[in-house]
Chains A and B, each alone.
Chain A
Amino acid sequence: MQHVPGEDRGRVMLYALSTCGWCARTKELLTDLGVGFSYVYVDLLAGEERDRVVREVERWNPRLSFPTVVIDDATVIVGFREEEIREAVGA
């Protein structure tokens, strides 16, 4: 898991795929907003770690689709939904 430093707007977690254009746009948006967040490229994980993270994503988003953004273990945004992401991080 990687951390991008920035303003503290709660625990912002981005589950992404390294090959996906919408995941890239979501990461770019969070970076541009100056929000501190963590991200993980699930497609680059292997073995037990991958299984664990897949289960984690499925808990928030049973369809296991990407990008999935989770804020403060409560708000879940599936897909590159710019307005919803801006609103959720208060930017």
Chain B
Amino acid sequence: MPDAVSDGEVNRLMRDLEAEAEAGGYHLNPDREFTCDLVRGLLANRERYGYISCPCRLASGNRDDDLDIICPCDYRDPDLADFGACYCALYVTADVESGKRAAAPVPERRPPPAERTRQKEERALVGRAPGTLNYPVWRCRVCGYLCARNEPPETCPICRVSRDRFERFM
């Protein structure tokens, strides 16, 4: 584990993440030691890349290419639904948090690089399609929040991710 990060920083980010998670109906993994190490990894990545990319995935260092794996990642919610935990297991469902159910191992859902490039091109095309709506509809790629307005919000009001995590939905 990287040791450049202080315990104070780890505790601070952990507290912030926990408060944000609970406010939005999400839950951090109750295994404190494990979660602490993941938060340490997030801080190490922030130090290295300037953003908190997933500690369990290899980041490229290019924010645009890593956008889908900046925590919370694009894959968190489907993995919570299918396995009870996200890929790195920082987030778990309520029944896993309370010990009613054990989280299952989570296979990697992120597509390989060539597939990601193809999907990105597809999304760009959707964004250019002519519409008959008064406003474009934007979708948060992390939590699915939809809003009809000229631009996506600066921060997702539901899951707190930044504007560049939104895609054109309609």
Binding site for B on A (CB under 8 A): 17-24, 42-43, 54, 62-66, 78-81
Contacts and interface: CB of A to CB of B under 8 A. Distances in A.
**How big is the B interface, by class?**
20 to 34
A17 B41 CA distance: 10
Interface string B35-56: 0011011101100000000011
Nearest to A63: B108
Contact of B56 (A19, A63, A64, A81): A19
Contacts of B40: 19
A19 B105 contact: no
B112 A21 contact: no
Contact of A19 (B1, B89, B113): B1
B107 interface: yes
B58 A43 contact: yes
Contacts of A19: 1-2, 38, 40-42, 44-45, 55-56
Interface in B49-77: 55-59
B34 interface: yes
Nearest to B89: A21
A17 B44 contact: no
A65 B88 contact: no
A58 to B, nearest CB: 9
Nearest to B37: A21
A21 B56 contact: yes
A42 B58 contact: yes
Contact of B58 (A17, A22, A62): A17
A24 B1 CA distance: 8
Report the 4 A-B pairs with minimum CB-CB distance, sorted nearest first.
A19-B41, A19-B55, A65-B108, A20-B56
